[in-house]
Structure 1
């Protein structure tokens, strides 16, 4: 059997390539979209017709009344930005954390950053590395609050699948990914000792965990959960089996017992659209309580917990601000070098490769 790669996909369909006058291409695009829409329609009808049985298979539960006015969470997010120049791509990464009581910010936020260890000639590699550094800073910053929080909310997933990403990294990238994974395990292990749940809030669902469980190929978890979840409902947590090898590896690196740290995912509709909540195994039995608290502190429209929305806004490194500081600094460098022509070497690059 031929391995399912893009190369084999193209080879199998070489005879179906259509070459037409440019004036006809819009019609072909329209026909292609029409075929895709028919396939999508069939999948949606399949979900609709089996809605009740799918709800049972997914283990739909409903949030309950809880008092969240004194529920203390630490919310943490990270962001990065950078400028591509003739000298390469140099990113900056920051993480922001703040304590909340209910939906109200209780303390001034704190931030963390670290110097990304290289200038990257490959911008894509630089952005992947920046993302990993962001995760590392998130996990490290969250550990500072464990003694005073009822729960940790991380903006983003816990089932990151670094092993897949690591195959595309340089040696330094692999080392950073292992450090980030080890920091996640350290956070989970320390939080477990405090009895503190750690929840990853995934705002844009791109996974297929739920659709695989329900045997609904061709549909994303977002489409499936949106189809049969009502407001205030969530699915029973689903084990992210593929993460276990990573958890075991990272646990060995920091000498931690991985039992109880396996990652589970629950899909919840706390507002108009569903989100995914990742959690370690040691707090799965508290899913009802935790999801009910999140429902109370989420915005009615998006269903995203307000603490996450707040730190997400604070952690963004805006393009305008970054470029302003960058160009101001590079202008000074050019002046110090006494050669104004070097500013072209340091200026942001635009356009395609």
Structure 2
């Protein structure tokens, strides 16, 4: 037996590849931050931050006293009958891995239909296309684009199949402005953006044609439209609404719909599809409302113009079916649960790629040194610690 054969399987692997594997078994990274830096960041830095938050709170309370009564608020009552309307809800998740050689995207989407607190049919699932991106530098943005695209596609399929009374999208109805392609974008990024835009316009128009209201339930929002309107731009709307709305209350929509390059992109795409201008305005004019459905801060709703007359019914359904603790409606919560691509799932997928690459080495279709292609980008963390699984990967037949 040669010396190479006598070596342990792990020792045969390229160093970069071993570093990736061995990080699974290593303990937590030791705290090496210098004491002076720790003092500046943790002790002194937090003092400054708390003072800034104190001033932030003063600003929002001053604004509240100034605008009291200028924002119209409506009270909701839980209604079991409205809660029993049929809903289609959808969500998408993404969590790709950044290797030293390329980015491997991972994204998926789910749409389901529910009445009240019951899922009444098998959900529809859509997995993203397996791919390797070696030349994409806006990897997370492109992955988000594609996740949004398949979410729109699976939602439209669900609407066609189940003909619901309401469609709830987990997230915004429109593409986020930070996904707009900058001038130096790759051709693939621009193509994916146009595909996502087309899918989104198609979904909105399809719901419009069938007279089905569609609403975006935005859990994470940073906008400050209302605060900017009252000349306090350095204040998020959710911080203000936290003082205004009580449990079971919602605001009437702002006077003007959302504007900007994204909305213009939607209207231009709809015009290219030959959709009449009157229809374009009605389903691309998106209004915002805030609703407090639980003990958390309020959430933002996005509603197209053609659905505004049903806002009270929509808000009642969302409020009635929401858990008081987190404020998330049942259908959205279930879609999120079925779609969430966790770091553990991403790591398991990466380990499966490693396992199959090792099989190729054993078959002679790849060289052992080629496994460096699968080394994680420096600093890319593992959250999986399944030692037995990794040992099985490394402990098979020894390779010459």
1:86 CA drift (Å): 3.3
State the secondary structure of the residue aligned to 1:75.
strand
State the secondary structure of the residue aligned to 2:282.
coil
Residue aligning to 2:232: 216
1:25 CA drift (Å): 4.8
State the secondary structure of the residue aligned to 2:82.
coil
1:187 CA drift (Å): 0.8
Q: CA RMSD in A?
A: 2.4
**Equivalents in 1 of 2:179, 2:142: separation in Å?**
14
Equivalent pairs counted in the alignment come to 330
Structure 1 residue 346 corresponds to structure 2 residue 359 = no
Runs of 4+ in 1 over 4 A off after TM superposition: 22-33
Question: Retained in 1: the 8 A contact 2:215–2:301?
Answer: yes
State the secondary structure of the residue aligned to 2:372.
helix
Residue aligning to 1:291: 315
CA deviation profile, 1:30-77 (whole Å, cap 9, x unmatched):
555444443432332233245365352222222234323421111111
Please identify the structure whose Cα radius of gyration is greater.
2
Moved more, 341-350 or 76-85: 341-350
Structure 1 residue 309 corresponds to structure 2 residue 329 = no
Structure 1 residue 154 corresponds to structure 2 residue 173 = no
1:339 CA drift (Å): 2.5
Structure 1 residue 259 corresponds to structure 2 residue 281 = yes
The aligned runs of 1:1-353 (5 Å cut-off) are 25=37, 28-29=40-41, 30-31=43-44, 33-51=46-64, 53-66=66-79, 67-115=81-129, 118-122=132-136, 125-147=138-160, 148-162=163-177, 165-167=180-182, 169-238=185-254, 239-242=257-260, 243-257=262-276, 258-261=280-283, 262-273=285-296, 274-317=298-341, 318-336=345-363, 337=365, 339-351=367-379
- The TM-score normalised by the length of structure 1 is 0.84
State the secondary structure of the residue aligned to 1:341.
helix
Alignment CA distance shift 1:116-1:159 (3 Å): same
Alignment CA distance shift 1:139-1:224 (3 Å): same
Residue aligning to 1:13: none
Which one scores higher on RCO, CA 8 angstroms, separation ≥ 6? 2
**Equivalents in 2 of 1:346, 1:36: separation in Å?**
41
Residue aligning to 2:7: none
Alignment CA distance shift 1:285-1:328 (3 Å): same
- The TM-score normalised by the length of structure 2 is 0.75
1:245 CA drift (Å): 1.2
Residue aligning to 2:20: none
1:163 CA drift (Å): 6.9
Alignment CA distance shift 1:333-1:81 (3 Å): farther
Moved more, 184-193 or 323-332: 323-332
Question: Retained in 2: the 8 A contact 1:116–1:130?
Answer: no
Question: Retained in 1: the 8 A contact 2:60–2:235?
Answer: no
Question: Retained in 1: the 8 A contact 2:60–2:239?
Answer: no
Question: Retained in 2: the 8 A contact 1:163–1:246?
Answer: no
Moved more, 264-273 or 171-180: 171-180
Question: Retained in 2: the 8 A contact 1:327–1:347?
Answer: no
Question: Retained in 1: the 8 A contact 2:100–2:378?
Answer: no
| Structure 2: unaligned runs, 5 residues or longer | 1-33, 381-400
1:154 CA drift (Å): 1.2
| Structure 1: unaligned runs, 5 residues or longer | 1-21
